[in-house]
Amino acid sequence: MIIFLIDCPPNLGILTINAIRASNEIIIPVEASRFSLEGLNQLVEIIKLVKDRLDHNVEHKILVTNFDSRLRHSFKILDEIRNNFKKRLFSTIVHVNVKLKEAQSEGVHIFSYDKYCRGAKDYFSMSREIITQENAPLAPDMQTFDKRMDAILKKELPRLTEVVFSIHSPEVKEAYVAGEFNNWQADENSRMECNEGTWRKSLNLTPGRYRYRFVVDGKWIEDGQNPNKELNPYGELDSYIEV
């Protein structure tokens, strides 16, 4: 049995304990916010208390959801969650996506509403990660579900388009491209390669609209060659592309 739990205030402690006691697996969704992180810590303490006092061990994993990649604060909280709960954290992150709310308003699931949007992609990844967990044998009914999900993924996975990002800066020592397609991470996976002063990075992206910026020698800048720009919450310009 898997129960999805949200952060609970102290006066709901008994209900939370009863739910944990009736379960053997729990998925805890948490937003990248300070209050959600505090609620997560309290909930984990309750799970430990149930184990110690009632001798009932419950496996639990944490899902970061409603993640706003436009806010630096979100990444700060995400780092804290990763540092404190690294072994229990899902690889998938469910991002803020207006299409999810629109689908909810229309009373349909996201794969019928817009199967190519960011929200649909995140939940595809989430479903696949759950049903293909290593170190957890699948029950017969889950094996059937696994086969069905694989068939759906093979049939409906969004097509990929190669996009080449480039910037001419012969004077810089290192450059990265970071955006909504990689959670704004400037790491080895987003490092650009230099050839005669021009830095390039090729990425395979699903259809959608993506904001991005270059990081050159530690400084975040917009793409000067791309006329498509939008003001971000920090008063700076993000470049964007339509794939």
Residue 140: pLDDT band (50, 70, 90) is very low
**Of the candidates 140, 156, 172, which is a domain's last residue?**
156
pLDDT per position as a tens digit, 18-49? 778 788 888 889 998 888 888 888 888 888 88
Tell me the average pLDDT of the chain: 83
**Of the candidates 105, 137, 156, which is a domain's last residue?**
156
Q: Are residues 89 and 142 in the same domain?
A: yes
Q: Are residues 29 and 57 in the same domain?
A: yes
Q: Are residues 57 and 124 in the same domain?
A: yes
Angle between helices 98-106 and 118-131 (to 10 degrees): 90
Edge-to-edge, what's the strand order for the sheet holding 59-67?
A: 2-4, 25-30, 59-67, 89-95
Provide mean pLDDT across the span 5-29.
69
Q: Are residues 101 and 33 in the same domain?
A: yes
N residues, the chain: 243
Euclidean distance between CA atoms 36 and 51, whole angstroms: 23
Euclidean distance between CA atoms 69 and 66, whole angstroms: 10
Q: What is the pTM of this model?
A: 0.50
**Of the candidates 122, 156, 190, which is a domain's last residue?**
156
Q: Are residues 170 and 235 in the same domain?
A: yes
pLDDT per position as a tens digit, 163-182? 999 999 999 999 999 999 99
How many domains does the chain fold into? 2
Q: Are residues 18 and 95 in the same domain?
A: yes
Q: Are residues 169 and 55 in the same domain?
A: no
Euclidean distance between CA atoms 84 and 206, whole angstroms: 32
Angle between helices 34-54 and 13-21 (to 10 degrees): 60
- Percentage of the chain beyond pLDDT 70 is 83
Domain with residue 218: its CATH number is 2.60.40.10
pLDDT per position as a tens digit, 49-59? 888 888 888 88
Residues spanned by the domain of 21:
2-156
pLDDT per position as a tens digit, 124-136? 888 888 887 644 4
